[in-house]
Amino acid sequence: MGMNTTQPPPSTRTDAYDVIVIGGGAVGENVAWYARANGFTVALIERDLVGGECSYWACIPSKALLRPGEVLSAARRVPGAEPAVTGAVDVAATLHTRDVSSSHWDDAAQASWLDSIDVTLIRGQGRLAGERRVEVETDDGVRLLQARIAVALATGTSAATPPIEGLDTIRFWDSRDVTSSQTIPNHLMILGGGVVGAEMAQAYRRLGAEVTVVELFDRLLAVEEPAAGELLGQVYADEGITVITGAKAVAAKRDRDDGPVSLVLEDGRVLQADELLVSTGRSANSAGLGLESVGLEGNDYVAVDDQLRVKGVDGDWLYAVGDLNGRALLTHQGKYQARIAADVMGGKEVRAKADHIAVSRVAFTDPPVAAVGLTELQAREAGIAVEILNVPYSSVSASALLGRDIEGFAQLVIDGPRRTVVGATFVGPMAGALLHAATIAIVSKITLDELWHAVPAFPTLNELWLRLLEADRGI
C-alpha cells in the first residue's frame, strides 16, 4: 500500500513550534524576531494587520498629521523664513502623506518581512487552550498549535469607553478614527487631554478645525510635570484651541447619526461639535485570550514578573509583553520587553528594569513634551530626598537660533543624597532629541559630578545640560 498523504482537517492537526506569539503588532513582531535570532522556530498569530496599532492607527499616522503644522510653525518663528510662509497646511496633501505612511492600511510589506526572517504568519484569532497549547480560529476552521518552549501574549490594548450616560448609544471617534479619518470636521470636541487628546487637538486645529478639549484634571498632560501642561495650555489658547479643565462629562447624545454631538458637563454646561473624540485611556485586550484555560481571569492587564513571565502560571512558559501587561503603555517600552522576553526564552539571565526606573515618553505637541523617569511628585511619594534643577530654554544661545518667542524649560529631578538623576522633563523645540541623554544618566546612575565631564557641543540645545549642572552649583 502507498503512503497516505491526506492531511487531517485543521480542527485535528496540531503543528509544533518552539515559540508561539499571539499578537502581531510591533511588540509581537519583536518577540518573533529576537526569538528567531536565538535559534527558535516561531509562529506569529495576528487577527488584523501585522504591525498593529503603532503602524496604522497611532505612532506613525498621528505624527504624519502633526508634521506639516509643526514645520509651518517653526518657519514662522524665524524672521528670515517667515515671509515665505504665506498659506496654511495643505489638508489633502497631509492626509495623503498620512495614508502613505500607514501603507494605506495594507500589511503586505510587514508580512513579507516576517517571511524573510522565517517566521510563520497565521492569520486568525489566537487563544490559549491549556499548557503550551494554542487554538487559532482561521477562515478555514480551528487550527491547533503546540509550543515546545514558550507562548508570548502581545495583544496590546484598545481605547477605553468611560461610563458616560448615552455614550454607548451614539457614534463617536476613538484613537483609530481620529488618525484615519479622510475628512476634517468643522468642529472637533475631544474628551481627554492626555497624549492622544493633546496631539490630535493641535493637529486638527492646524488642519483647519475648531477644537475644544474637555479634561477632567486641572491641566493638559496631567501625569507630567505641572509646568509642562500649563505651558501647553497657554500655547493652545494662543492658537485658538479651547481647553476646559477640571470638567467632568456626565452625558453624551446625538439626535441623529450625522447630526452634531452634544456633551453635557457636570456643572450643567452643554457643548456641541460635529465629532467627538473620546481619548480617556486604554483597556487590556485580554478577553477571549483563553486565559481561563491556564487558571487566570481574562478581563484585565496580565501581571508579569521582571522576566515578563505571567504570574500564577507554573512552568515558566507563558509570557505577556507590551501594553497587555500594563507596565508601560508605550511602543518602545513594549519592544524593549520583547527583547528581554526572547532572551529569557533563550536561557539568558536578564530582567526588565527600564519600565521601573526609566520610562521615556514624548508628546509630539508644539512645543513637544519629553520626559523620562520620575516626576517631582512621584519621586517625593517614593520617599526620595528630592532636589529640583530647572532652567529655561532661553538660557542657551541655541534657543535664539530657533527663532522668536521660544518658550520651554529643562528640569531634572535629583536624588539629593546620591546626587543622581531620577527624572527629567524637557519642554520646547527638539525636546525629544535631548531625552536620551537623561535616560542614559538615569539608567547608569551617573552622578552630577561625573556629568560635569560630559561636555555639550556649542551652540546646541544640549548646553541645557551645562546650565542645569551650573544651577546645581548655584552658578
Please, which residues bridge with residue 265 across strands? Answer: 249
Distance in angstroms (rounded) separating the CA atoms of residues 83 and 370: 30
pLDDT confidence of residue 7: 42
Domain with CATH 3.50.50.60 in the chain: 14-55+102-158+283-355, 167-280
Residue 322 sits at the vertex; the CA angle it makes with 47 and 122, to the nearest 5 degrees, is 25
> Pick from 175, 209, 17, 7: which is nearest to 94 by CA?
209
pLDDT confidence of residue 3: 37
End-to-end Cα separation, the chain, in angstroms:
92
CATH class as words, domain 367-472: alpha beta
pLDDT-flagged residues of the chain (< 50): 1-8
Chain centroid to CA 6? 47
- Domain covering 14-55+102-158+283-355: architecture: 3-Layer(bba) Sandwich (3.50)
Domain with CATH 3.30.390.30 in the chain: 367-472
CATH class as words, domain 167-280: alpha beta
Beta strands 282-284 and 157-159 are: antiparallel
In Å, how far are 159, 170, 387 from 447, measured between CA atoms? 40, 54, 13
- State pTM to two decimals: 0.94
pLDDT confidence of residue 12: 58
pLDDT confidence of residue 6: 37
For residue 21, the tally of other CB atoms under 10 A from its CB is 35
> Pick from 344, 329, 301: which is nearest to 195 by CA?
329
SS3 254: strand
In Å, how far are 30, 128, 210, 280, 341 from 335, measured between CA atoms? 6, 22, 36, 24, 10
Helix (H) or strand (E) holding 361: strand 360-363
Could you give the angle at which helices 195-206 and 59-76 cross, rounded to 10 degrees?
50
> Pick from 382, 430, 410: which is nearest to 472 by CA?
410
Q: Cβ distance 232 to 220 under 8 Å?
A: yes
Distance in angstroms (rounded) separating the CA atoms of residues 399 and 159: 38
Distance in angstroms (rounded) separating the CA atoms of residues 335 and 113: 17
Q: In sequence order, what E strands does 260-329 have?
A: 261-265, 270-273, 275-278, 282-284, 318-320
68-91 residue pLDDT tens? 999 999 999 999 999 999 999 999
Q: Cβ distance 436 to 445 under 8 Å?
A: no
